[in-house]
Amino acid sequence: MDTPAPQRARRHGGRGGNARRSDTFRLDQMPWSVPCNTDQPTTPLNEDGCEAIHQGALYILAEIGVEFLNEEALALFRHAGCRVEGANVRMDADFVMDMLARAPAGFTITPRNPARAVPIGGAHMAFVNVSSPPSTWDMIRGKRTGDFESYREFLMLTQVFNCIHLVGGYPVEPVDLHPAIRHLDCIEQKLLLTDKPVHAYSLGRERVEDAMEMVRIAGGLSHAEFDAAPRMFTNINSVSPLRHDFPMIDGALRLARRGQPVIVTPFTLAGAMAPVTLAGAVAQSLAEALCAIALIQYAAPGAPVVIGTFTSNVDMRSGAPAFGTPEYMRATQMTGQLARRYRLPMRSSGVCTANIPDAQAMWETCNSLWAAVQSGSNIVYHAAGWLEGGLMASPEKFVMDCEMLQMIQRYFDPALSATTPDDLALDAIREVGAGGHFFGVQHTQERYETAFYSPIASDWRNYEAWERDGATDTVARAHRIYRNIVDSFSPPPMDEGIREELREFVARRKAEGGAPTDF
């Protein structure tokens, strides 16, 4: 139940540096493991409802069509016999279902450290850090525009927490780096500071190709070895309603043709970019995802794909998006039912609307995370650190969310519902008898160290003990853990030759000007 990772760095030099070991920080967390969701999924749709949404999605694809602002995609669809008029593509149910049948039901992403390989699909549930907020918030500095220093801190949290399995998009946008070379510095840091599978944005040819090359170098792989199995992943969004843009589709095709996974996640807010009724919003989201997946499977048969959902509702008072709502939960569960029908791995998210990591933030996040469980989601994006509808990342929220993720991991432990004679403990019950106490008996003593979930940020003491010790709220405790992790962080080992090769690649590509910034 602890991690071998971080030793607190000596923050004071000189004699202070010789100080006692008691200064060492150890995060008492659960070991690395990709949990298996042992629950039956929650199914708000009956068979007819499932069929109605499926037929709705197929109707959208066959009769209304989706725009692809990507010439290559249009050519591929034309070649496949779909009806292409301008950018609008309509496709028959048979084509869609034939293409879906090519997609694998599961796959494994193997990063530079093979011990961190992450299985996707089936009962597996992998958690991803928060991705893409432009700003960051912490309890000392408040809201700030994202920068490279914060970006690196979030990667440290991502690496240290065993319950985070995948390194998603930039946990905060480092606006102080020029966009032309940002992806080079960012992906280099991902590969240096973490050894888990990393994400690359599908934002133009150069960025995608650079990212694949850097992941290849970091893994010490030949081009053939890189292509042979999933090593990284991307996530693309549609421009809802009913549109896919150029760079996302371009990036998706580039990764898919090299066997790298693509998550397709429409962003369909009911009442804004999708119908105000959830069945319609889910059907539209599915249609937008299925046509992109069909394209990928046509271009790269068998390429690993994941169907994503990001259907929530807007606040009808303000038009702002709302997350962690009952509507969000049901939309996620319904999408899960269809994802299982299509035998595709599924992605959902750990999201909230709140502006600070307080009570509201956690009820919204808990709703999202339990919906992820109930929907059978295989990948949970933004599972740690998300605030303000995705406009801010917060290190304190990151720590809090990891407490929830660990609890979910523990919740799946079959030991909790085991019913062997040892678990039923009838002898212990007899031994203790009426009015006795179980703490002293051998059955308890043999098990008490591992019997129960042990929290990281929760304070379980009574009010008086908690008050004497400073009456900290959860944010303050999470802040302390965040600072301890960052101050004591040491990066995972990397071969010096590989590090040098990566450094040279980044330097060369920077010298060449990086990527165009006209998007």
Site for a copy of itself in 33-92 (CB under 8 A): 38-40, 42-45, 48-49, 52-53, 56, 59-60, 63-67, 87-88
Among 85, 449, 496, 518, binds a copy of itself (CB under 8 A): 449
Q: What strands, in cross-sheet order, belong to the sheet with 321-322?
A: 269-270, 312-314, 321-322
Shortest Å distance, C-beta 332 to a copy of itself: 11
Q: Are the C-beta atoms of 422 and 429 separated by less than 8 Å?
A: no
Q: Beta partners for 384?
A: 129
Q: Which two tokens stand for residue 13?
A: 């030099």
Q: Are the C-beta atoms of 306 and 261 separated by less than 8 Å?
A: yes
For a copy of itself, which stretch binds (CB under 8 A), given 166-174, 254-262, 352-360, 510-518?
352-360
Q: Degrees (nearest 5) of the Cα angle 364, 368, 370?
A: 115
Q: Is 469 in the site for a copy of itself (CB under 8 A)?
A: no
Shortest Å distance, C-beta 13 to a copy of itself: 35
Shortest Å distance, C-beta 264 to a copy of itself: 17
Pairing mode, if any, of strands 88-90 and 135-138?
unpaired
Closest by CA position to 164, among listed 119, 199, 196, 212:
196
Closest by CA position to 374, among listed 414, 408, 402:
408
For a copy of itself, which stretch binds (CB under 8 A), given 75-83, 146-154, 227-235, 276-284?
276-284
Question: Which residues, 103 to 142, sit near a copy of itself by CB under 8 A?
Answer: 135, 137
Question: Which residues, 312 to 331, sit near a copy of itself by CB under 8 A?
Answer: 313-320, 322, 325-327, 329-330
Q: Is 25 in the site for a copy of itself (CB under 8 A)?
A: no
Q: Which two tokens stand for residue 471?
A: 């009456």
Question: Which residues, 422 to 441, sit near a copy of itself by CB under 8 A?
Answer: 422-426, 428-430, 432-439
Q: CB nearer to a copy of itself: give 3 or 43.
A: 43
Among 36, 117, 239, 498, binds a copy of itself (CB under 8 A): 239
Alpha carbon distances (Å) from 41 to 120, 184, 333, 370, 376: 17, 40, 8, 11, 6
| Residue 453 CB neighbour total at 10 angstroms | 16
Among 127, 148, 154, 370, binds a copy of itself (CB under 8 A): 370
Closest by CA position to 160, among listed 34, 7, 3, 24:
3
Question: Which residues, 152 to 211, sit near a copy of itself by CB under 8 A?
Answer: none
Among 311, 367, 394, 484, binds a copy of itself (CB under 8 A): 367
Q: CB nearer to a copy of itself: give 199 or 397.
A: 397
Rounded CA-CA distance 398/385 in Å is 4
Shortest Å distance, C-beta 497 to a copy of itself: 44
Rounded CA-CA distance 469/463 in Å is 10
Shortest Å distance, C-beta 93 to a copy of itself: 15
Q: Degrees (nearest 5) of the Cα angle 263, 265, 266?
A: 155
Among 110, 158, 159, 284, binds a copy of itself (CB under 8 A): 284
Rounded CA-CA distance 456/490 in Å is 20
Q: Beta partners for 314?
A: 321
Read out DSSP for 312-381? EEE-TTT--EE-S-HHHHHHHHHHHHHHHHTT--EEEE-----SSSSHHHHHHHHHHHHHHHHTT-SEEE
Binding-residue total with a copy of itself (CB under 8 A)? 129
Largest CA distance in the chain: 80
DSSP summary character for residue 167? B
- Which positions from 142 to 161 touch a copy of itself by CB under 8 A, shown as an x/- string? -x------------------
Shortest Å distance, C-beta 52 to a copy of itself: 4
Shortest Å distance, C-beta 405 to a copy of itself: 11
- Which positions from 374 to 413 touch a copy of itself by CB under 8 A, shown as an x/- string? --------------xx-xx-------x--xx--xx-xx-x
Among 8, 97, 355, 510, binds a copy of itself (CB under 8 A): 355
Q: Is 463 in the site for a copy of itself (CB under 8 A)?
A: yes
Question: Which residues, 254 to 273, sit near a copy of itself by CB under 8 A?
Answer: 270-273
Among 19, 105, 418, 507, binds a copy of itself (CB under 8 A): 418
Shortest Å distance, C-beta 416 to a copy of itself: 4
